Structure 1
């Protein structure tokens, strides 16, 4: 009878092996057949603008709690912090809304939205870069967009 137990344990171990390689999250348009229009659009965007163009990250700095006299310095400080971020192909200059309460920028990864480097970039922006960019102020920071939502989902599930 112990052979059956050993065989069952081996069988369960073999069948559970793929669990260690499962990737959760949204399957990108790059996984579609090449005949699909969304796949063709994905490929065109990637070839023309880089793989990260298919999953932009919107960076938001809410400076509504920051005194008006300090906002220009905050914008300069934040813009400096957003230069040379690892795994970011491009981060656009910060732009203020018409009332000046919010600054926004868009970050593009060097890799596709499902790539681990994009996940690392999203986490780095959320946990390190943006908080340091507004340190010493009352500003709040956010990383938004579909790609950021997928990264947050993966962080919750895993």
Structure 2
């Protein structure tokens, strides 16, 4: 009986199916990916209280520091000081960075590290922008002219990378 109805008006059923699929797929256009941090917990939780205390005392970015790493093992020992100076200058005045600490060399001098703190909480879009800016623009320019590798690490950076991977593959995941 149902098949006869479809046979009599196939275009109506096709149009109805398309409309139904469109309605059901509508929420896909409003998906917001991100990570949830301690700031999303109820205020009665200990980790939320710690998050709030850190934010009020040191700024919202203190809860999601980014560790900046420059691997200079392939850079000659004579050029390492110049590289450190060039990199430190490049790390000055980075938008959305509240503070970037002084670059510090490891005991063998092969690696330089610094810590960057965002002006915003780890889940904020400005922190994501800062992470991407440091990874894609600031650090590569900071070591230009030298055979050095750069990395942005830490929990917040890992979450940003994961978000980028999921976002790029989301159409395949949903399909």
* Structure-2 separation of matches of 1:144 and 1:3: 55
- Give the TM-score normalised by structure 2: 0.84
CA deviation profile, 1:12-69 (whole Å, cap 9, x unmatched) = 3333332223233431111111111111111111111111111100000011110001
Normalising by structure 1, we get a TM-score of 0.92
Range moving further from structure 2, 46-55 or 19-28: 19-28
* Deviation, structure 1 residue 4: 4.5
Gaps of 5+ in 2: 1-9, 167-174
Deviation at residue 7 of structure 1 after TM alignment? 4.1
Q: Does structure 2 conserve the Cα–Cα contact (< 8 Å) formed by 1:25 and 1:153?
A: no
Of stretches 63-72 and 11-20 in structure 1, the one that deviates more from structure 2 is 11-20
Long gaps (5+) in structure 1: none
**Are the structure 2 counterparts of residues 43 and 7 from structure 1 closer, same or farther at C-alpha, using a change threshold of 3 Å?**
farther
Instruction: Kindly name which structure, 1 or 2, has the bigger radius of gyration based on alpha carbons.
Output: 2
Indicate the RMSD between aligned Cα atoms, in angstroms.
1.8
Cα distance in 1, alignment partners of residues 116 and 148 from structure 2: 19
Q: How many residues align?
A: 158
Q: List per-residue Cα deviations over 1:51-109 (Å, max 9, x = no partner).
A: 11111000000111100011000000000000000111110110111111100000011
